[in-house]
Amino acid sequence: MQNSDPLYSNVRVRIVEPDIASGSLTVKVIYAQREERSIVYEGVLYSQLDESANGGLVALAMELAPAEYRDARHGVSASLLRKDCKLDSLDALDEMVRQGYRIFTHYIGEHDELVIIAKNLIIG
């Protein structure tokens, strides 16, 4: 089930820590310039969010439905996703969702949009 409500917003990325062995991605963030929290993505299949986001501001993070990536406003991240995952079309996203994956989109700064495909999200 996709939900287009915000998951979190206006957080500064302190550090992105991928754990390939466990298939998780931990993003340590600072809320309100003082409170540190860990956001953990479990069962990560794909991530455009990496160490280059350290220090960046996540203006908004939300879960989107596969159909939304066919919209031109998601063209850059969708194109990168297709290239990185060697997908013939974005129809493969529908199958990923049927298999229990969720598609998380992160708006970094004013222009960047980064996608994470994972099974679960825990905000600690």
Report pLDDT for 3.
59
Sign of CA dihedral 48, 80, 103, 106: positive
The stretches in the chain having pLDDT less than 70 are 1-4
Report pLDDT for 1.
47
Report pLDDT for 43.
97
Report pLDDT for 67.
86
Q: Which of 1, 4, 48, 11 is nearest to 32 (CA)?
A: 11
Report pLDDT for 81.
82
Report pLDDT for 83.
85
